[in-house]
Amino acid sequence: MDVNELREMLIKYNDLRNTDEVYTFYYDETNNIRKLYLKDSGFNVNKTDNFILAGILHKGFSTGSDYSTLFKMLNLQKSAQELKLKHIAKGDFLDMLKSDKLLIILNWLIENKFYIHYFNLNIIYWSIIDIIDSIIGELDHPFYIMNHMSLKSDFYELANSNSDVFLNALHEFNYPDIPEEKAHEFCLWLIDFTCIHSCMLSNFRANVLENLVKESLRIESLPFISGFHGRVLIDSFMVFYLRNLYIFKNSIHIFDEEKSIQDDVKDFPLTDNGMPIHNHEFVTSHNSEAVQLSDIIAGFLGKYFSYLKDVNDEQLVLDKAGLTSKQFKTLSALKHIIDVSDDVSRGFFNVVSSEGEQRRNNHFLHGVNL
């Protein structure tokens, strides 16, 4: 795949800056479930926490920072062969904010001019929004296109709040490979489900979503939810590993070893005006302090974004108001390094999640009113 056409489109559409600069990215992941598919009793996995691919980066191909100084400050047990999240912080997100060692790491990264990057994927949101995208795409109506984010988020909230009923129906219809002969029946069910449960939305938003799904009866086909492979919702996260490789094509990308991803990326070579791009490598984390630090960042952000997914607005407000001074210092350090990183390039961050999660993030981290 030649990267330039897609790369230039994404850079222009998202107004991304400094993407031609040279950086060294380090990556680790958390909550990689490998595959997600529907069973008659729900999903094939018990937990559906957000998938996170994240880590640290610095400008240029090398850094003069002394990792050994940081590791000494952390005072790790001699039995620890490499740095892992369990050595730094434990428990849920709010518990992790109490960790002195986590604050030491964040402050060290800031002082040594490191940045952070992340990809945050709500796997359930990603798996079901094709239903709404199919309808909007076929209608091609400016109002629905303009409001696609709120429509998808409202639909996700309805589905998530009534997950047993919703997932059982998707399984019965063989989603996301709905047979053509069942498409009309699926649309009728979709309308009933939405109208029954839309009372949890404001009147205006409920009416807009109800009107949209009713339009599905006028559509000849639903292209994004037919013609696939049975009930498989996610069969690989490979496409998300590729994003930074082509957006930051002049940079170096260093990943923790992951055999399945290595094989997938190898089978999908990238080119730049016909010339192969060789800008990534997979390493053993034991041999890379920066990848070990990326494990901490990815794990911590995994707890944070899954917290935002699961918490309601009222509890979020109470949780933030109840932070201790130590928790607030750690939260402030996280905010600072995200803000500094965002000032360099918004391209360091990629989020696929509901409007509610993004709103809660803006409140908890940045103080924006809910």
Residue carrying structure tokens 């709404």: 132
pLDDT-based confidence at residue 180 (cuts at 50, 70, 90)? confident
Integer CA distances (angstroms), 321 to 100, 121, 310, 334, in order: 20, 27, 18, 17
Output the six-digit token pair for 228.
Answer: 């696939």
Contacts of 312 (CB under 8 A, 6+ apart): none
pLDDT of amino acid 62: 93
Average pLDDT over residues 71-100: 91
Lowest mean pLDDT among 219-228, 238-247, 259-268, 284-293: 219-228
Rg (CA), the chain: 22
Q: Each residue of 100-118: pLDDT tens digit?
A: 999 999 999 999 999 999 9
Output the six-digit token pair for 171.
Answer: 């399984």
Q: Each residue of 325-359: pLDDT tens digit?
A: 999 999 999 999 999 999 999 999 999 999 999 99
Average pLDDT over residues 217-245: 84
* pLDDT beyond 70 at 228: no
- Cα 51 from Cα 106, distance rounded (Å): 21
pLDDT-based confidence at residue 194 (cuts at 50, 70, 90)? very high
Amino acid of residue 273:
N
Determine if the peptide bond prior to 142 is cis (ω within 30°). no
The residues spanned by each domain of the chain are 1-370
- Cα 11 from Cα 299, distance rounded (Å): 28
Q: Residues in the chain, how many?
A: 370
- Cα 84 from Cα 192, distance rounded (Å): 48
